[in-house]
Structure 1
Amino acid sequence: MLSPVEEKSSVKDAQQSNAARVIRLNPADDVVISLHQLVSGTVLAEEGVTVSGLIPPGHKVATRAIETGEAVHRYGQIIGFASQPIRAGQHVHTHNLAMGDFTRDYAYSKGARETLPAAQPATFQGIVRRDGQVATRNYIGILISVNCSATVARAIADYFRRDIHPEVLGAFPNVDGVVALTHGAGCAVDADGEGLAILQRTLGGYACHPNFASVLVIGLGCETNQISKLLETQGLKEHERLRTFTIQDTGGTTATIAKGIDIIKEMLPEANAVKRETVPASHLKVGLQCGGSDGYSGITANPVLGAAVDLLVAHGGTAILSETPEIYGAEHLLTRRASTPEIGRKLVDRIKWWEKYCDRHDAQMNNNPSAGNKAGGLTTVLEKSLGGIAKGGSTNLTEVYEYAQPVRARGLVFMDTPGYDPISATGQVAGGANLICFTTGRGSAYGCAPSPSVKLATNTTLWQRQSDDMDLNCGEVLEGTKTIEVLGALLFQMMLDTASGRRSRSEQHGYGQNEFVPWQISAIT
């Protein structure tokens, strides 16, 4: 496989030709990627082939004849196997490309290399908490132990909404808001099972997240996920910034809402008494997400994010790569970069867990990509994964975490999560992510309270159509107006600015409360 620099050069070379209609990512590839819609009869002179049929933008064109069962390569890696004969110039997609088993050389730590620290440490304006953690936002959070207390939590948070009652928080300009993060679980599960443990770990991570100045936890009273047990398992104790109570003990809905409002009012003065100060970029923990991906994701936005991640790591920060089903088939490229063979094996163990998990549910790993991914040009999960890991840049993999575990290592780490973005990002934030960077090619309107989410468009068409939801246009890579390195540096500065308080597009629209989705894996009884 080409190095990241070589891959970027190949994209750049394709762009510099005015006649370029396709991109070749690796000399060993069997396909090229269309920059525009190609019609039958179009001659691709540099590839020596003539297009046969209609090729949508971002889709693949075969550059040679491929026999049934033969491996097909993109990025210099296998993305699937021909399910029928493919002629040079034909569209390569779901009708003629399928998954298949193949051996991957994990070469644990063989490609690990030292990352040189930045000469001049970058900084941002953060909020330093009593325990030394650094916040990028300053919210008061309302969590629930069980879905039964979701309605009262929302009612309490609504009382403090600036768009409904602007006068309530008028005296507290340093408080970003009061948010209720509700969910659909908490009862009718094994009290000692993995599912409840994951929920408790997630809630515990949010309860002590630096972006919350204070947290109120509300339960019903009779649920399996008892608040006392939740606090005990997470090593937490109630104090003035972490308050709890239940609906049953309080005396019903009306009394609960009134009590919750009173408690939040008590929390507001201290929450407001903060100021931002200059802190090193090493305090940033950035969750990496891609959703609504397309054929350009692995060429533009994901490598741009990867370039920014390399800068972040050089400045001592942390990036959390996740979505295990979306590195499937490309995990060998991460194990090679593992700091130690043990870390690489931990990643492979999570892959094996997912294979067994899918077998138990009579599912396939290739149920990912989604319909939108396929419409955008991605055919198999192998192809999606190879583009997806570009978000992680080129530095060493320093640790592997299970879902919602506290992230304490610096550098590029991996957290085991599903590919579904709300669940994945929820786990990252529970692990301590104080910023999310999210690439999209089809268009996403995602946001993630209490951590801001920065959205990267993979192509200019999306940017023009849905700029209301996007923060950065990476389509300029395709057009040759900006390089991956230039946009990566721009994104790194955008990370610092957002961490310093500049609101992202999703924050301006009020996204974040509904997108809190803890991973549920237990049987509901």
Structure 2
Amino acid sequence: MLQANTNFTGALLRLNDADNVLIAREALAIGQQVRVGETVVRLRAQIAAGHKVAARRIVRGEPIRKYNAIIGRAARDIEAGEHVHAHNIELIDFERDPGFGLDVRPVDYLPESERATFQGIVRPDGRVATRNFIGILASVNCSATVIKHIAAWFTPERLAAYPNVDGVVAFAQTSGCGMSSPSEHFDVLRRTLAGYARHPNLAGVLVVGLGCERNQVAGLLESQGLHTDKALHALVMQDTGGTRATIEAGIAAIQQMLPAANDIVRRPVSASHLKIGLECGGSDGFSGISANPALGAAMDLLVRHGGTAILSETPEIHGVEYMLTRRAVTPEVGQKLLDRLAWWERYTRGHNGQFNGVVGPGNQQGGLANIFEKSLGSAMKGGTTPLQAVYEYAEPIDRAGFVFMDSPGYDPVAVTGQIASGANLICFTTGRGSMFGSKPAPTLKLATNTPMFNRLAEDMDINCGLVVDGERSIDEMGQDIFEHILRAASGERTKSELLGLGDHEFVPWHMGIVS
């Protein structure tokens, strides 16, 4: 993991001695003279917090270095003190040595007796949950309204008799028909739905279909090895009697599940049962300085305690994939990651997507010039431990430690895949501010800077801006995050849960054509 060799004092931060750009710790005025070590830099532009400033004269074509990693090259001569951003950085691609396994280092795993614990819910089959919902899945968009009506019937007043049930949640989606089948898209949709149906945070599941869709309920269950029982019910609207009859039948089915779902007790379990999905959105120039490396430090702790950290968003490791392939436990694991990146290159060719270099407006406003610079910070969420495995989207994760799951960079799609793969808690870093939440696995949101944390205090859980403020080291912040994770996994409500988020963030990946 790249780490800054700075003490975070002063208005401009030098992240690595080899860097030719500095990072503005705060908004700076044109003409202002700022001391960096023995050097005084006179600013030639107004600089927003998190943005880059030329530390010296950079000639046209010279690589731009941040954390001593190349994020592009100078599109023209850049004078010391100039603003360095998308207007004067060219994105360049170049061959990188994957160096399979060169940076693998042994993990100092803690013995079971010394591992942290949290108050978890242990299912009869041994799976461990962090929340206790009943879920309703739609096999197709045509049953989405029905499942929403079924879930809405279970108001807090009607669930008052079942205090151990966190709620009844509808996972509506917009596909399931009008898609090619068989196809990769079809397989991904079924795998995602099955991942939710099996998720330990769901004490009971109801699957509702229309009847004539391509994603037939019976075929879905059979293809995924799912079987109806007391905790898994299925309804087909055309067989049940239509909209009203299906809503009534769905309510009755869930009423039958509630007593057993309520019959749970939280008890101490090892942190090795935690699977944490790692996400970032609305990033800024501080993401790779505070929240992302601090979350990486927390994931190193989690792995030492036997848990699993799931990095995703494949387009957002583009350009720094060697940071991960060098940590792959085998060449095959490293090659699988490169194969997924090659798939993405083909998939996005000819389209103005993030994989091809341009980041979103919020990222640019926050100080990130291109996808390489964003990727540099994004990859830090995964910490420093070996890359144990690479999974396709929504594929069940069966290896502990640090792993990668292929996904788009779009937040709700990536998190949906992580939860389907088994994540029972999400850690979401943001520099611009995210209002995201998820069910049945809760989301903790980590702010990269203190001003945004204070402005959006109702939405942010953890202020990693304390690193930039000089009040916490990366390791201290990582310990704080790890302890917050344990509390959230034990049932402490996250900010997004307190706001009622998560009912509309189930977004399976749409990969194919619609016909």
Task: Report the TM range for the smaller structure's normalisation.
Answer: over 0.9
**What is the SS of the residue equivalent to 1:151?**
helix
2: CA distance, partners of 1:143 / 1:311 = 35
Number of the residue aligned with 1:188: 178
364-373 vs 461-470, which moves further: 364-373
Amino acid at match of 2:89: L
**Structure 2 counterparts to residues 461-500 of structure 1, below 5 A:** 461-500=451-490
Conserved 8 A contact 2:22-2:53: yes
2: CA distance, partners of 1:466 / 1:378 = 21
**What is the SS of the residue equivalent to 1:216?**
strand
Amino acid at match of 2:129: A
Number of the residue aligned with 2:361: 371
1:109 pairs with 83, 87, 101, which one?
101
2: CA distance, partners of 1:247 / 1:360 = 41
1:321 pairs with 305, 311, 335, which one?
311
1: CA distance, partners of 2:80 / 2:225 = 61
Conserved 8 A contact 1:325-1:368: no
Number of the residue aligned with 2:425: 435
2: CA distance, partners of 1:431 / 1:70 = 42
**How many angstroms does 1:360 deviate by?**
5.8
1: CA distance, partners of 2:150 / 2:8 = 55
Change (3 A) 1:437 1:363: closer
Alignment pair present for 1:97 and 2:85: no
2: CA distance, partners of 1:486 / 1:104 = 33
Change (3 A) 1:367 1:148: farther
Conserved 8 A contact 1:439-1:458: yes
Number of the residue aligned with 1:82: 74
**What is the SS of the residue equivalent to 1:45?**
strand
Alignment pair present for 1:415 and 2:409: no
**What is the SS of the residue equivalent to 1:350?**
helix
2: CA distance, partners of 1:73 / 1:255 = 63
1:253 pairs with 243, 249, 252, which one?
243
1:65 pairs with 37, 57, 78, which one?
57
**What is the SS of the residue equivalent to 2:496?**
helix
1: CA distance, partners of 2:106 / 2:417 = 28
**What is the SS of the residue equivalent to 2:363?**
helix
Change (3 A) 1:345 1:124: same
2: CA distance, partners of 1:392 / 1:482 = 20
1: CA distance, partners of 2:352 / 2:301 = 42
1: CA distance, partners of 2:502 / 2:495 = 12
Percent identity for Structure 1 against Structure 2: 53
**How many angstroms does 1:366 deviate by?**
3.5
1:354 pairs with 309, 325, 344, which one?
344
Flag as ranges the 4+ runs of structure 1 deviating above 6 A.
Answer: none
**What is the SS of the residue equivalent to 1:468?**
coil
**How many angstroms does 1:98 deviate by?**
2.3
Change (3 A) 1:311 1:88: same
**What is the SS of the residue equivalent to 2:349?**
helix
Change (3 A) 1:154 1:73: same
1: CA distance, partners of 2:73 / 2:266 = 54
Change (3 A) 1:227 1:336: same
2: CA distance, partners of 1:426 / 1:235 = 20
Amino acid at match of 1:91: H
**What is the SS of the residue equivalent to 2:337?**
helix
1: CA distance, partners of 2:269 / 2:184 = 37
Number of the residue aligned with 1:310: 300
Conserved 8 A contact 2:134-2:168: yes
47-56 vs 130-139, which moves further: 47-56
Number of the residue aligned with 2:437: 447
**How many angstroms does 1:200 deviate by?**
0.2
Change (3 A) 1:223 1:329: same
**How many angstroms does 1:362 deviate by?**
6.5
1:134 pairs with 128, 139, 152, which one?
128
Amino acid at match of 2:45: G
Conserved 8 A contact 1:300-1:478: yes
2: CA distance, partners of 1:130 / 1:203 = 22
**What is the SS of the residue equivalent to 1:467?**
coil
**How many angstroms does 1:61 deviate by?**
0.2
1:34-88 CA-to-partner distances (Å, cap 9, x unmatched) read 0111112222322442110111110000112222222111011011122222111
Number of the residue aligned with 2:385: 395
1: CA distance, partners of 2:419 / 2:89 = 36
Number of the residue aligned with 1:144: 138
1:220-267 CA-to-partner distances (Å, cap 9, x unmatched) read 000000011111221111111111011111111111111111111000
1:434-489 CA-to-partner distances (Å, cap 9, x unmatched) read 00000000000100100010010000001110010011101111111111111111
Amino acid at match of 1:56: A
2: CA distance, partners of 1:239 / 1:81 = 60
Amino acid at match of 2:42: T
2: CA distance, partners of 1:140 / 1:394 = 36
Alignment pair present for 1:55 and 2:47: yes
Conserved 8 A contact 2:91-2:357: no
Conserved 8 A contact 2:354-2:360: no
Amino acid at match of 2:215: N
1: CA distance, partners of 2:168 / 2:427 = 23
Change (3 A) 1:105 1:367: closer
Aligned residue pairs total 511
**How many angstroms does 1:130 deviate by?**
1.8
Change (3 A) 1:510 1:28: same
Alignment pair present for 1:216 and 2:216: no
1: CA distance, partners of 2:480 / 2:358 = 31
Q: CA RMSD in A?
A: 1.2
Conserved 8 A contact 2:437-2:501: yes
Conserved 8 A contact 2:8-2:469: no
Number of the residue aligned with 1:174: 164
1:471-512 CA-to-partner distances (Å, cap 9, x unmatched) read 110111111111111111111011111111001000111111
Number of the residue aligned with 1:244: 234
Number of the residue aligned with 2:27: 37
**How many angstroms does 1:367 deviate by?**
5.1
Which TM-score applies when normalising by structure 2? 0.97
1: CA distance, partners of 2:260 / 2:350 = 49
**How many angstroms does 1:368 deviate by?**
4.6
Conserved 8 A contact 2:315-2:354: no
**What is the SS of the residue equivalent to 1:310?**
helix
**How many angstroms does 1:151 deviate by?**
0.4
1: CA distance, partners of 2:218 / 2:8 = 60
**What is the SS of the residue equivalent to 1:461?**
helix
Amino acid at match of 1:402: E
**What is the SS of the residue equivalent to 1:127?**
strand
2: CA distance, partners of 1:182 / 1:14 = 45
69-78 vs 307-316, which moves further: 69-78
1:104-127 CA-to-partner distances (Å, cap 9, x unmatched) read 121100110100012521001111
